[in-house]
Each structure stands twice: as structure tokens, then as C-alpha cells.
Amino acid sequence: MLGRLVAILAGVAAIVATPNATAQTADDSPRDEFIMNAWSNPADCNRSNAKRVPFAALAADPNGLIGECVAVEGYWSGRAIFGSTRDAKARRSNITDRLRRKRIGIYAQWEIVGEPPVRPTRTTFVGRVGQCETQWPGAMMVMGYCHYTGGPILLVSQAFPS
């Protein structure tokens, strides 16, 4: 019991002491670390060099686009984007299994991109495609969108109202 308590306290201490993370590829993912946040560098992935992709295609099957710099338009709600306002407004929209292939999780430098809007807002996001299940192999814990669910994610470098 004491050992478990010590492990939990050590984990909490690590979370509090960990600085913001930067974007990482699966190959250079840390081992036994906490992933607090991630994003893409706008100097490398931006509106001028991003490949435009349809929301539905990326949400349903990101595998062919992993690591690619893309621009995708959708409705921003919480820590995810959706293909429709109806899906974005659904109860527990960011985590429900019912919307698993109808949303894309987002990680961003929130102080640059801004906090999520109060109501779903049509937004174009630019960033690198990833997937919760494979983005950070070996990480002890991943916070944010992937902490609660799985599927495609976008490591955002830029966001623009549509």
C-alpha cells in the first residue's frame, strides 16, 4: 500500500515539474515520461506548405497521412474537431465511442492558438497527423485528448477561423 502511494505521489510530482513538451515523432518519443502537450512547428508546417485534406477522410483513416503536414477544416469543440456542429455539440463529444471515426483530437500550443471556443466554431487547422495509439510509444502517461480516447490527432501549428 505504501509503495503504491509513493508511486502515485512520484507521478503527481513529475506532472507538476514537467515543462511544456514540444512535438515529437514516434521515433524520438520519450520512455517513462509524461506527455503534457505537443504541437507542430509553424516554420516547418504551415498554411503555405500544408496538403488540404477532407475532414471525413482524415477522421475515418489517418494511416496514409501519419507525419504529413495537412490543413483540415472542421468544427472546433473542446480538444477535438468535428465534421458537423451536430457532432460537436453531442453529449461528451470529445470522448464518446459513438463519434470515434467522426472526430480528430487536437494538441496545440494553446497560448498561441487560443483556448477552445464556447460554441463549436468552423476553423481550419494546420498541423502534422498522428494517432493516439502510436504517437508516443513507451510514454508512461499522455495527457489531453489521447488520455481519454484514441484515434487520429493533429499536432497543430496554426489555426484560422473559416
Residue range 132-139: average pLDDT? 91
SS3 content of the chain, % helix, strand, coil (to 5): 30, 25, 40
> Which residues make beta-bridge pairs with 89?
none
Mean pLDDT of 117-141: 95
Reported confidence tier of residue 24, pLDDT bands at 50, 70, 90: very low
Look at residue 17 in the predicted model and tell me its pLDDT: 42
* Main-chain dihedrals φ then ψ at residue 66, nearest 5 degrees: -55, 125
Q: With cut-offs at 50, 70 and 90, classify the pLDDT of residue 15.
A: very low
Q: Report percent pLDDT > 90 for the chain.
A: 75
Query: Is the pLDDT at 159 greater than 90, yes or no?
Result: yes
Query: Which residue has better confidence, 80 or 30?
Result: 80
Range of the domain at 18: 2-161
The average pLDDT across 146-158 equals: 96
Q: Considering its fold, how many domains does the chain have in total?
A: 1
DSSP 2-45: HHHHHHHHHHHHHHHHPPPP----GGG--SS-EE------TTTS
Looking at residue 29, its pLDDT comes to: 53
What are the grid coordinates assigned to 102, written together? Answer: 467522426
What is the band of 31 on the pLDDT scale with cuts at 50, 70, 90?
low
Average confidence score pLDDT of the chain: 86
